[in-house]
Amino acid sequence: MATWNMFSFQDAVSPIMEQLILFHDHTMMVLTMITIMVLYMISSLMLNKFSNRFLLEGQMIELIWTLLPAVLLIVIALPSLKILYLLEEINKPLLTLKAIGHQWYWSYEYSDLKKIEFDSYMKQTDSIQNNEYRLIEVDNKIVLPWSTQTRMLVTSYDVIHSWTIPALGMKIDASPGRINQGSILVMRPGIYYGQCSEICGANHSFMPITLESVNMKSFNNWIHKIS
């Protein structure tokens, strides 16, 4: 999960997030290169005493400073588009989880198992346990089996919310009257946190998302217990 002195992403827990982190690093390398180049050109322009008052045109330098940015843009755009289409990919999901945003909590449905529906409210500060985190723990966690393809459907009951788990690289808008789809593949067991990511009203900051990733056996036990 995110803690107070983190500057970069959380560890990837899904293949999509791994790709996103690699793309981020790739883009940062390009940006660093451009910044160093521009800073070098600015400083060398300011520090030398040359001038050329009769300069009219320079075909070669114009060609270079037109083509070079175009190539750099392609180098960034192609992997970006690759991930964009990868995000839409969904491969024979074993189960479907539906999240519905409400002011101000999430409710979940596992509609293709038995009729499993529950609300997921933030735990108030006076009811959290010693090993839990304030303002991000919920009373009813989502439980999913790890290493299993899951279809994620997100919608809203009232205003626009956004269902997010950064460690999974997921952020899906919850719009009323519309169902958005994503896919989840959690690579490790564990507890992963997220928060509503679209300003949705007074208690927007207090409708967190908590996902518990367990093995298939524990998931089955949980299904039997809850239904």
Ligand X SMILES: *[C@@H]1O[C@H](CO)[C@@H](O)[C@H](O)[C@H]1NC(C)=O
Task: Note the residues at the interface with Cu ion (CB under 5 A).
Answer: 161, 196, 200, 204
Q: How far is the CB of 174 from Cu ion (least distance, A)?
A: 9
Of 73-81, 89-97, 149-157, 199-207, the segment contacting ligand X by CB under 6 A is: 199-207
Q: How far is the CB of 193 from Cu ion (least distance, A)?
A: 15
Alpha-carbon distance 162 to 101, whole Å?
8
- Interacting partner of 203 out of ligand X, Cu ion, none (Cβ under 5 to 8 A depending on kind): ligand X
Q: How far is the CB of 176 from Cu ion (least distance, A)?
A: 13
- Scan for tokens 């322009």, then name that residue: 45
Residue 203 binds ligand X, judged by CB under 6 A: yes
Q: How far is the CB of 124 from ligand X (least distance, A)?
A: 7
36 burial via Cβ count (<10 Å: 0-12, 13-18, 19+): exposed
- Interacting partner of 196 out of Cu ion, ligand X, none (Cβ under 5 to 8 A depending on kind): Cu ion
Member of 55, 202, 224, 225 binding ligand X (CB under 6 A): 202
Cβ proximity to Cu ion, 12 vs 172, nearer residue: 172
Q: How far is the CB of 103 from ligand X (least distance, A)?
A: 8
37 burial via Cβ count (<10 Å: 0-12, 13-18, 19+): exposed
User: Cα angle vertex 86, ends 85, 88, to 5°?
Assistant: 70
- Interacting partner of 184 out of Cu ion, ligand X, none (Cβ under 5 to 8 A depending on kind): none
Cβ proximity to Cu ion, 105 vs 219, nearer residue: 105
- Interacting partner of 202 out of ligand X, Cu ion, none (Cβ under 5 to 8 A depending on kind): ligand X
Of 36-44, 146-154, 191-199, 202-210, the segment contacting ligand X by CB under 6 A is: 202-210
Cβ proximity to Cu ion, 109 vs 198, nearer residue: 198
- Interacting partner of 204 out of ligand X, Cu ion, none (Cβ under 5 to 8 A depending on kind): Cu ion
- Report the interface residues with ligand X, using CB under 6 A: 202-203, 206
